[in-house]
Amino acid sequence: MRITALPGLLLCLLVAFATGLATPLAADAATSASQQTSQKNTPSPKSTTPKTQVALATHRTSSKTPPKKTTKKSSSKVDDRPPYRHAIVVDASNGAVLYEEHAHEPADPASIVKMMVTLLTLEQVELGTISLDDTIEVTDRAARIGGHQVYLKTGEVFTLEQLLKAVMITSANDAAFAVAEYVAGSQQAFVGLMNERAAQLGMTDTRFVNAHGLPPENRRFEDSNQTSAYDLTLLARELLDRFPLVLQWTSSQDETFRDSPLINTNHSLLDNFPGVDGLKTGYHRGAGFNLVATATRDGRRIISVVMGAKNKGERLKATMHLLDLGFTTIQTAQVQQ
């Protein structure tokens, strides 16, 4: 019996041992599987990195183009003022104003006063009191006039026409003084005639003090020439209407004086704007760069005035723009009619 029962007892013990060993292993396996399942379903803890840092990191790694460079704004103000102080454009045939800017404000004409010298002189020629062929002996006073000049010498003799060409083409101060003396006996008497004629033309903004346009030696105690852009259109229209001969002079670039070329002070405009044939430049430091210009296109003539420009280049550029503007305005008006 004992021998027979022993194998059965051993068998029971082996089964019990195996069962007890398998239970913990299965439990461990179940626990491990449960932990793995829990890890898959449980969200990972939130990052402690600040949002701004995350955003910056994302930008740096995901951006394909570098950030735009910031341009510093200039602290200097843009000067949008026109390169002159006064301007106007008129139809020469009727005086209709096509454009104006500060056209009635006082301004120093500088050498543009010589247009009045020429007008008065040619009116006397027309009356027959003098002739363009008259010979004029240069006085000591005329020879001492400075600024832009043809360097007249005391005792030299020239015809009135020669001196007027020097006045209108190369803006000679000494020639203007010599003409004024010849016509009226003295510059002072001639200036009186200039102001009388200005009043007759309705140049209410104008006061002349000399015939050459130079500034006074002492500005604190002496007056200077004064006019306006508008008044100069009145003078220009009268001069061109009465004496178109002037345009033959002001458009010329091959006149001579003492067998030397007379340099036309308006040569830049003559060379760069088709149809221009005049009229008069003016400059000194206090006045700035001035120009009364005239041109024709399609049978129409206009007159422009620029005063107080900063330099010759700005004066030229502004004048060309104003002339173009004037012709465009006239053309537009004709189409609308």
Closest-CA residue to 252 (of 244, 262, 260): 262
Is 228 marked active-site?
A: no
Neighbours of 92 (CB within 10 A): 19
First to last CA, the chain: 145
Secondary structure (DSSP) of 20-44: HHHHHHHHHHHHHHHHHHHHHHSPP
Secondary structure (DSSP) of 195-230: HHHHHHTT-TT-B---SS-PPPS-TTTS---BB-HH
Burial class (CB within 10 angstroms; exposed 0-12, middle 13-18, buried 19+) of 110:
buried
What gap in Å lies between CA 229 and CA 326, rounded to an integer? 15
Catalytic residue among 51, 64, 114, 186: 114
Catalytic residue among 51, 68, 171, 260: 171
What gap in Å lies between CA 252 and CA 245, rounded to an integer? 12
Secondary structure (DSSP) of 89-135: EEETTT--EEEEESTTS-B--GGGGHHHHHHHHHHHHHHTSS-TT-E
Quick one: residue 25, left, alpha or beta (phi over 0 = left, psi -120 to 50 = alpha)? alpha
What gap in Å lies between CA 334 and CA 337, rounded to an integer? 5
**Unique residue bearing structure tokens 């082996």:** 14
Catalytic residue among 34, 47, 73, 111: 111
Structure tokens, 241: 């209407």
Is 304 marked active-site?
A: no
**Unique residue bearing structure tokens 């001639």:** 190
Is 171 marked active-site?
A: yes
- Which are the catalytic amino acids? 111, 114, 171
